Amino acid sequence: MQLSIFATHYSKLKLVILSLLTLNMLLFLLVGGVINAADSLVWLLLLVSYDLEAYNIQLPISNHALHQFRNILVCFITILFFGYLLQGDILAAANSLLWLALLILLELETLKPAWKNANKTTYWAATVLVFIGLIALVLIWISFGAWLDAYDAALWIAAFAIVEADLLRLMQEKLLKI
């Protein structure tokens, strides 16, 4: 009974975070410009794709097509990273680079679980360092008074921490079936 209560609250938390991120995307469209809104949209799609995979939800597309879709999204994220660099927005570029590093770690976790298990210490150290960098950027944005950027970044950290927890659960379930 206690576990189902947790699962219900957990699902509601994810829904609230996803709703807030969608609202942020609309806010960025109004006040932050098209690049920020496009960045948020691409990340939302990526977040949902990882969540669908973590819950093993049957989609009308193959796993290969889902990974190809994610590869396209990562290409857009890379282009946006260079856009931030060209604009001289070093904090946004650093943020984008850290998130790209996290994507690499997530892909390793989903596509190469044997490698991840063989290199647990390195994998977790890299993950912790990326999250420390992302949290540091939130604190920097707060110190600059960039509240929307800080709030948005904190939401994304929470969202991907939840995805990471879901993927960990999925990998443990797969290992138990072996």
At 91-145, the pLDDT tens digits run 999 999 999 999 999 888 878 888 988 999 999 999 999 999 999 999 999 999 9
For residue 1, what pLDDT band results from cuts at 50, 70 and 90?
Answer: very low
Number of domains in the chain: 1
Distance, in Å, from the CA atom of 128 to the CA atom of 130, rounded to the nearest integer, reads: 5
Does some domain include residue 149? yes
Does some domain include residue 1? no
Distance, in Å, from the CA atom of 2 to the CA atom of 132, rounded to the nearest integer, reads: 32
For residue 164, what pLDDT band results from cuts at 50, 70 and 90?
Answer: confident
Q: 34-54 and 90-111 are packed helices; what angle lies between their axes, rounded to 10 degrees?
A: 20
Does some domain include residue 32? yes
Residues 6+ apart with CB under 8 A from 92: 84, 149
Does some domain include residue 4? no
pLDDT higher than threshold 80 for residue 70: yes
Does some domain include residue 46? yes
Three-state DSSP state, 19: helix
Distance, in Å, from the CA atom of 33 to the CA atom of 31, rounded to the nearest integer, reads: 6
Distance, in Å, from the CA atom of 125 to the CA atom of 13, rounded to the nearest integer, reads: 27
Does some domain include residue 31? yes
Domain assignment of residue 149, given as a range: 12-177
Residue 53 burial (CB count, 10 A)? 20
Does some domain include residue 152? yes
Does some domain include residue 106? yes
